[in-house]
Amino acid sequence: MKTVLHYFLLIISFGLFFSCQEEESNIVQDTTQNLYVYSPVSKLVERVSQNNTSVDNVMDGTSVFRVKLPVSITLNSVNLIISSEADYVTVKNLKEVSTSDDDIVNYNYPIVVSMRNYAETTVSNFDQLITIITQNEDLKDISCITFQFPISINEYDTSNQIANTVTFVSNSQVINYLFNLQSTVYYSFVFPISMEDSTNQPVVLNSNAELETFIESSIDDCDDGSTTPINFNSVITTGTWYVSYFYEEGDGDETSDFIGHIFTFYANGSSTSVKAGSTINGTWTTFTDSGFNYLELVYDGSDPISEIEEDWKIIEFTETLIRLKHESGGGGGTDYLNFTRN
């Protein structure tokens, strides 16, 4: 598989040389920096450039969208007009007044919601709101770091052998480009890229690896404290899980290998993977090394289960998603594993 991938990248390079010689001065395709729609870096860049949909999570409990203000709500029998972001504190305080209330925010419809890609939708009732939530990815924005525009990318479409350079001047342009990116298109950032960190200090990044590390290291900095901290062991031992993303260096996206596998992690440290009535036993444990939290997985089975037997760095987690990363020593590459709760 690695040979096939290297051969494919070589074809891209030759295709660019022969079909795009007129653009050679403008487009330089570095195959080591190629990204595509399912690349982990693409997902991280989406979350940096997306609408700040988590700012009102105290009201709607989801990062799928943010509700456009002003909006009329009813909370614990109290009618409120939320006219600015400062009013979210009022919502939070009212929820904390009593432990016997249901603390459910009821909107007075219609309302307008702004999606992750900044598109606005009018919502007429609760059922429509739930449909929007269930049909979209609930990815929390990483909004405390920002790109310094303009930034540019080189792209190559393998379906028509067309190369192009695209320049972005806003977050909206970046996320909509990634939202509409076809699986046949590969792209690479034109480095260096300038960003601002969570303290508004400038940062210059020179590669995909630097970009990925910077964004991942900023996730905790961007936590606004609006949600109650959750315990990893409590999360992983609740319910069952499936592999929603598995990327292995050299072999690419192998998520489909895990279709049908249902994982359960028990409080005693044991784990099972069940598919079509067949059970594979294993163990899980967590540990800390050099300030990072890790999840170690061990299973009795062969491929594909044996492929996830690693000490995985815990990048982030919610009650429904666990993002993991394994970095091999000696330049062995980086693998990615996501578990999503059923």
**Global confidence as pTM:** 0.79
Residue 267 in any domain: the answer is yes
User: Is the CB of residue 155 less than 8 Å from the CB of residue 9?
Assistant: no
Mean pLDDT of 90-98: 92
User: Does 20 fall in a domain?
Assistant: yes
Among 172, 189, 218, give the residue marking a domain's end. Answer: 218
271 and 148 assigned to the same domain: no
Residue 339 CB burial class (10 angstroms; 0-12, 13-18, ≥19) = buried
User: Which residue segment(s) compose the domain that 130 sits in?
Assistant: 57-134
What's the pLDDT at 38? Answer: 85
Residues 147 and 100 in one domain: no
Q: Please say which residue of 118, 134, 150 terminates a domain.
A: 134
Instruction: Give the dihedral of Cα atoms 141, 142, 143, 144; nearest 10 deg.
Output: 150
- Is residue 227 one of the residues assigned to a domain? no
Per-residue pLDDT at 7 exceeds 80: no
Q: What is the pLDDT of residue 58?
A: 93
CB atoms within 10 A of CB 121: 14
Q: Are residues 255 and 304 in the same domain?
A: yes
Same domain as 332, residue 205: no
Residue-wise pLDDT for 170-224, tens only, equals 999 999 999 999 999 999 999 999 999 999 999 999 999 999 999 999 988 887 6
CB atoms within 10 A of CB 298: 15
pLDDT tens-digit readout, 66-88: 999 999 999 999 999 999 999 99
pLDDT at 5 > cutoff 90: no
The answer to whether the beta carbons of residues 249 and 332 sit under 8 Å apart is: yes
Looking at the structure, tell me whether residues 332 and 236 fall in a common domain.
yes
**Closest-CA residue to 336 (of 42, 48, 49):** 42
Residue 223 lies in a domain: no
192 and 265: one domain?
Answer: no
- Verify that 300 and 331 share a domain, yes or no: yes
**Chosen domain end from 218, 247, 274:** 218
Neighbours of 178 (CB within 10 A): 19
Give a yes or no: residue 277 inside a domain.
yes
In SS3 terms, 45-72 reads as HHHHHCCCCCCCHHHHCCCCEEECCCEE
In a domain, 226, yes or no: no
- Indicate whether 40 and 63 sit together in one domain: no
Compute, in degrees rounded to 10, the torsion defined by CA atoms 250, 217, 54, 193: -80
Closest CA to 43 of 254, 215, 243: 215
Amino acid identity, residue 123? Answer: V
Claim to verify: residue 184 and residue 249 sit in the same structural domain: no
Say yes or no: 277 and 323 in one domain.
yes
Is there a domain that residue 206 lies in?
Answer: yes
Pair 43, 175 in one domain: yes
If one counts the domains in the chain, the total is 3
- Bigger pLDDT: 31 or 263? 263
Compute the C-alpha angle 37/214/168, nearest 5°. Answer: 50
Tell me the CA end-to-end span of the chain in Å, nearest whole number: 31
Instruction: For residue 73, list its beta bridge partners.
Output: 80, 107
**What is the rounded CA–CA span in Å between residue 35 and residue 42?**
7
Domain assignment present for residue 88? The answer is yes
Same domain, 34 and 62: no
Query: Which domain CATH number covers 248?
Result: 2.40.128.270
**What distance in Å separates the CA atoms of residue 156 and residue 151, rounded to the nearest whole number?**
17
- Given a cut of 90, whether residue 31 has pLDDT beyond it is no
